[in-house]
């Protein structure tokens, strides 16, 4: 576990899941003064019973408190609804309104989970913030380096590219060298109530499981993202109709109709025309990408620098070259064509295991149509 020498007072973000529970336990075992904190990120009034089971819902708060009691540490619930709505939910809705596909977990980690918790933690006399992310921090020499987690199947460094660099020295990721099975084994050995709790798969602020329900509540009925439009092929021929382009993302197959010899996928969303462009799978391959909204955890790369870039979670990192930079971000050229590169998703740059930085995909280049 990567922590500085000496006893520290550390605030642990406890969602009520097994990962954050074990992270807190490991810090207690290491001799630190640990404080548990759960974020209340949205209003629970009027929720259906099943919505209370989200990672930040009432059940999560209850489970986090049960674990904190077991570990003998104080536990607080922080109301961050205003900040979370501004930085995560509003951004999520706005991105879908633009025909893009956002990463709400990145927005949360970049702002609410670490920056806002650290601000509250200082009031409690805390020296740093910890979480149950599968990532590592190397403090061996000079400035801290954010690294991939040892377990490649659980590595979550992809979601952390937006962290302010100044925060890195205050963060702790106790699970970075563990596998998921090792984490559950530790939880069982310690008798933690969350040891066998299933992982949360839904977006915490979309308790119905369908993000379009949230969009319908937060966008005007006349918003273009919710209005009918045309599904067109790459020659502009209308091949179907849709009930709102916000229901589509690049690479998607469902919802675009059939009746053709080859399966079609969503290639592009054109919000100005309310069009969803579809075509055969091979047309998803692109040669490059422009990434904006950049955040660097090292010195920004110079043109012609070789990097690896991950364009979505669970996808392999792709070898690329920095082709240049300009007003709308940095342009990358892939060594091999990449598939289903989606505007709005995170593009994260790596040098080996080290996170160099990241940004949001603005547009693709070198398309085959």
Active site residues: 108, 204
Instruction: Tell me if 228 sits within 8 A of 244, measured CB to CB.
Output: yes
Structure token digits, residue 198: 């299933």
Q: Secondary structure of 42-63 in the HEC alphabet?
A: CCCCCCCHHHHHCCCCHHHHHH
In 62-114, the DSSP E strands lie at: 75-79
Beta strands at 9-13 and 33-40: parallel, antiparallel or unpaired: parallel
Residue with tokens 């990567």: 2
The residues facing 351 across adjacent strands are 354
From the list 156, 199, 139, the residue with the least C-alpha distance to 5 is 139
Structure token digits, residue 282: 């091979």
Beta-carbon contacts of residue 219 (< 8 Å; ≥ 6 apart): 93, 97, 225, 226
Quote the CA–CA distance of 198 and 201 in Å, as a whole number. Answer: 9
The H-or-E segment that residue 359 falls in is strand 354-365
CA atoms within 13 A on the CB side of 22: 28
Measured between alpha carbons, how far is residue 59 from residues 8, 17, 34, 62, 73 in Å?
A: 29, 10, 22, 5, 19
């Amino acid at each position: 576990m990567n922590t500085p020498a000496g006893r520290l007072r550390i605030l642990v973000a406890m969602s009520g899941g097994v990962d954050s529970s074990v992270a807190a336990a490991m810090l207690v075992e290491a001799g630190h003064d640990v404080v548990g904190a759960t974020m209340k990120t949205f209003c629970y009034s009027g929720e259906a019973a099943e919505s209370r089971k989200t990672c930040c819902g009432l059940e999560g708060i209850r489970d986090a408190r049960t674990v904190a009691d077991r570990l003998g540490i104080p536990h607080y619930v922080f109301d961050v609804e205003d900040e979370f709505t501004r930085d995560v939910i509003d951004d999520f809705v706005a991105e879908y309104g633009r025909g893009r596909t956002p990463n709400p977990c990145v927005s949360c980690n970049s702002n609410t989970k670490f920056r806002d918790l650290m601000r509250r933690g200082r009031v409690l006399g805390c020296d740093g913030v910890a979480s149950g992310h599968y990532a590592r921090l190397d403090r061996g020499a000079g400035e801290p380096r954010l690294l991939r987690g040892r377990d490649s199947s659980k590595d979550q460094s992809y979601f952390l590219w937006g962290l302010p660099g100044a925060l890195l020295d205050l963060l702790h990721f106790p699970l970075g060298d563990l596998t998921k099975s090792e984490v559950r084994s530790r939880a069982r050995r310690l008798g933690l109530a969350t040891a066998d709790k299933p992982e949360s798969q839904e977006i915490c602020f979309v308790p119905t499981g369908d993000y379009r329900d949230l969009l319908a509540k937060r966008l005007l009925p006349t918003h273009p993202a919710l209005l009918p439009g045309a599904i067109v092929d790459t020659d502009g021929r209308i091949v179907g109709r849709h009930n709102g382009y916000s229901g589509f993302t690049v690479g998607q197959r469902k919802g675009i109709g059939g009746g053709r010899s080859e399966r079609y996928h969503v290639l592009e969303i054109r919000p100005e025309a309310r069009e969803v462009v579809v075509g055969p799978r091979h047309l998803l391959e692109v040669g490059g990408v422009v990434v904006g909204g950049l955040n660097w955890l090292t010195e920004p790369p110079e043109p012609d620098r070789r990097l690896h870039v991950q364009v979505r979670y669970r996808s392999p990192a792709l070898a690329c070259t920095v082709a240049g930079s300009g007003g709308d971000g940095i342009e990358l050229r892939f060594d091999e064509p990449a598939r289903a590169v989606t505007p709005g998703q995170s593009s994260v740059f790596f040098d080996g295991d080290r996170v160099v930085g990241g940004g949001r995909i603005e547009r693709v280049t070198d398309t085959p149509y």
